[in-house]
Structure 1
Amino acid sequence: MEPVLLYGVPQGCSFGSIVALEWLGEPYRLCRINMLKDMESDLYARINPVRETPVLLLEDGTVLTQSAAILQNIATRGISRGLGFAQGTREFDLLNQRIALLTTKYFSAFGPLWHAYKMPGDGPVQSMLRDVGRQSVAKAHAQLEAMLAHGDWIAGSKRTLADAYFIGLARWAKYHRIEEPGAYPRLQRLIERLEADPAVIFAHAIEDERPAISSGGFRGHISLEELHPRLAA
């Protein structure tokens, strides 16, 4: 069977891996994971003991975790499409660098906002976390804005899987109501360009459980229970 991406909802960072698979164009399936319920089950822990998404179940039953590793796996499959680059090239190193930046600094910038979101009530601690989060996200956005002075995409002059991952995180600013219209014009242009992409539109529809039209190789959903016989021993 084709590879299966286990993606988290709501608002999972696995959104970017869905976009990446659509850009790749090869057959794949999806498995929907409710991060507030399914990840706490023993069934899910057999697939990923750290109880996180995304997870890519490969054709041979091997489990691949962590967005950076999943994106590089997809990038290697998509070198001919310009989604990735041969190891040892300057482009490969730059893509690695940008994916690392996004999966660490940019991802963690939203951490205080998610902590506040998950806490009960709306007291001073939540307010402090939101302030810290806004400052962290603003600093990360400023760094990305500066990078875009050297190209229209996250990793330079061509679209790569760094852009797929970026758009999955960039939407969190709107979700947490901290977007700053006009503050980062290059970043805003990139967001608008990506949001108009058929793969991004597809990923939104998949998350929202609306009718989704694949421009890639989507072959349907598979349940968590159905996946277990495929796991490598």
Structure 2
Amino acid sequence: MYPILFYGVPEGCSFGSIVALEWSGLPYQLCRIDMPDVVSSEAYRRINPVAETPSLRTADGRQVHQSIAILQHIGAQSPGSGLVPPQGTPGFDHFNEVLAFLNTDFFESFSPLWYAMEHCLEGSEQRTLTTMGRHKVRKVHADLERMLGARPWLAGGQRTAADAYFMGIARWNDFHQVLDRRDFPALHDLHERLKAEPAVHFAHAVEHGEAARSGGAFLGHVALHDVLEGTTAPS
């Protein structure tokens, strides 16, 4: 039995977990969950009762929800990958600080923009949410630029699961066109280096249903129905 990541499309934050799995070298499968229809279905609630992605079914059959928990699990299962620094070290503390900021402030800054778009708001309500969202997105980019400083990667001298998660959220700016990332030189440089990573190319292709070449140990897709019925032969 292999881990199965349930990832949401389109533009889900699950993107970072796919990148992390590619970097980990662990064998894994993927299950595609369309949003909002499938993710809110009673079938998917059997996987995740709160109807969110990503979710991870572990190799021993447990279910892990929430990106932070999933990324920590992947790191723990692949200690040689460096995705998560050793527990109890200063690097581990800093990694968790960065990942928590990404999962709260950075993620949430885009929420007003997504809400306004998904609910087809117009007039003053739309303008208020858009103005709020644009302000929040610029602020968190400035904060993250200061946090990154002269480090090559978000948590220090090597890439970690925090960088994978960052890429999944940072691309939302390309969708909403809030800012020019070049106004934040350190973040822009990080983004461009991550953009060139084969694992990022793979995750993008997977999301868009394109031919995807794994550099990790990807074993194929499985259907939600087959997971629920206990038959998970990859396609």
TM-score for the superposition, normalised by structure 1: 0.96
Distance between the aligned counterparts of 1:151 and 1:121, measured in 2? 40
Distance between the aligned counterparts of 1:226 and 1:60, measured in 2? 17
> Which residue matches 2:164?
164
Aligned partners of 1:26 and 1:216 also within 8 Å: yes
> Which residue matches 1:187?
187
SS in 2 for 1:153: coil
CA distances 1:142-185 after superposition (whole Å, capped 9, x unpaired) = 01111221401111121100000000000001101113242101
Task: State the one-letter code of the partner of 1:184.
Answer: F
> Which residue matches 2:126?
126
Count residues with an aligned counterpart: 231
Distance between the aligned counterparts of 1:41 and 1:35, measured in 2? 10
Task: State the one-letter code of the partner of 1:10.
Answer: P
Distance between the aligned counterparts of 2:201 and 2:209, measured in 1? 12
**Which stretch has the larger CA shift, 205-214 or 181-190?**
181-190
> Which residue matches 1:75?
75
SS in 2 for 1:219: strand
Residue 211 (1) aligns with residue 211 (2): yes
Task: State the one-letter code of the partner of 1:98.
Answer: V
Aligned partners of 2:22 and 2:216 also within 8 Å: yes
Distance between the aligned counterparts of 1:78 and 1:178, measured in 2? 36
SS in 1 for 2:64: strand
SS in 1 for 2:76: helix
Residue 151 (1) aligns with residue 151 (2): yes
Residue 4 (1) aligns with residue 1 (2): no
Distance between the aligned counterparts of 2:150 and 2:209, measured in 1? 37
CA distances 1:115-150 after superposition (whole Å, capped 9, x unpaired) = 111122532211211110011011100011112214
Task: State the one-letter code of the partner of 1:31.
Answer: C
> Which residue matches 1:141?
141
SS in 2 for 1:56: strand
Q: What's the CA shift for 1:78?
A: 2.4
Superposition CA RMSD, Å: 1.3
Q: Which structure 1 residue ranges, 5 or more long, are not aligned? A: none
Structure 1 outlier segments of 4+, above 3 Å: none
> Which residue matches 1:23?
23
Distance between the aligned counterparts of 1:227 and 1:179, measured in 2? 41
Percentage identity across aligned positions? 49
Q: What's the CA shift for 1:230?
A: 4.8
CA distances 1:1-44 after superposition (whole Å, capped 9, x unpaired) = 11000000010000000000000011100000001110121110
